[in-house]
């Protein structure tokens, strides 16, 4: 109720333990706090905050237009309602090494369990579009060193994303990933790999936990959890899935409302008021208010 009862430190330790457990951690992307609550209720291991989703929800393309303040605010809104660890897309760290350092400290204060910082040139582009450019290896190593050195909680997970596969090839991406691990990255996110074979190659070549991005309409084949587990992937994110499902339903609903003049035919497919109140723990709020009000001293309004 109101905020999760599980501390940020506990959620970070749970994420760390999960990375070392040998099992696959599933992190669907939450586009609202309410969707994060549903992710938790349905038994997933974590929540992801996507930069692409945040941009889209603000009516912007994913080309580096959002700020640290906007990402931090959304991350806090989501992390505060769930007992699950929250992993956040911090783009390029929002600038140079000092910006990456500040980003980590701000996100720590928002209660999230970790963030990923990528090696694209700022302003970045969606990882599954053409025309990406990556910074030098040395520049990215400085970003990672700054992020790792700035965290106050050693359990905060710093994930290094490399977009080099599409720019320099898979061999260069693997070499970058190894260097990023040596620089202190806890988790490696190889973006826009072609499929299972490349993911297997990455897994065998990099001695660190690996994250796979199962985003729709991208360059990477959509693999099921059994396949990802057999490869040895540690974390899978579904960054835009829930937003796409929701926006598809919203568009269909609006078209039907515009054409028929009523939503009557759509009611059967809607989340009911009772289900919404159940998810929100409406009864818990009511009971809590009644319990504290019963013990409060009476006032005469004078």
Residues annotated as part of the active site: 48, 62, 89, 91, 116, 118, 126, 161, 191, 213
Alpha helices (H) along the chain: 8-19, 33-41, 51-57, 68-79, 97-109, 137-150, 165-168, 170-182, 196-205, 225-231, 241-260, 273-280, 282-294
CB 120 within 8 A of CB 133: yes
**Residue 216, φ and ψ in degrees, nearest 5:** -75, 150
Tell me the two tokens of residue 120: 């694209």
Tell me the two tokens of residue 267: 């009611």
Tell me the two tokens of residue 138: 């040395």
Cα separations (Å) of 20 from 83, 106, 151, 208, 245? 19, 26, 20, 10, 32
């Amino acid at each position: 109720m109101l905020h999760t009862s599980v501390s940020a430190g506990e959620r970070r330790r749970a994420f760390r333990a999960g990375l070392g457990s040998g099992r696959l951690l599933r992190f669907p992307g939450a586009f609202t706090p309410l969707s994060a609550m549903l992710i938790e209720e349905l038994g997933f291991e974590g929540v992801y905050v996507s930069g692409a989703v945040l941009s889209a929800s603000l009516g912007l393309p994913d080309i580096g237009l959002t700020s640290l303040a906007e990402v931090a605010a959304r991350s806090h809104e989501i992390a505060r309602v769930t007992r699950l660890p929250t992993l956040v897309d911090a783009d390029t760290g929002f600038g140079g090494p000092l910006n990456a350092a500040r980003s980590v400290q701000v996100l720590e204060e928002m209660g999230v369990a970790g963030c990923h910082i990528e090696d694209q040139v700022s302003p970045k582009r969606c990882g599954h579009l053409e025309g990406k450019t990556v910074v030098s290896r040395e520049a990215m190593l400085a970003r990672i060193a700054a992020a790792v050195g700035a965290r106050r909680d050693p359990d905060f997970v710093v994930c290094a994303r490399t977009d080099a596969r599409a720019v320099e090839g898979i061999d260069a991406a693997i070499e970058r990933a190894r260097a990023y691990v040596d620089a202190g990255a806890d988790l490696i996110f190889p973006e826009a790999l072609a499929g299972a074979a490349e993911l297997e190659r990455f897994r065998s070549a990099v001695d660190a936990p690996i994250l796979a991005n199962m985003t729709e309409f991208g360059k990477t084949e959509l693999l099921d959890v059994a396949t990802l587990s057999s490869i040895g992937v540690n974390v899978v994110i579904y960054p835009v899935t829930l937003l796409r499902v929701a926006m598809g339903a919203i568009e269909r609903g609006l078209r039907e409302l515009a054409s028929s003049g009523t939503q009557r035919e759509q009611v059967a497919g809607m989340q009911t008021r009772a289900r919404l109140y159940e998810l929100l723990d409406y009864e818990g709020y009511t009971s809590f208010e009644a319990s504290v009000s019963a013990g409060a001293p009476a006032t005469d309004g004078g």
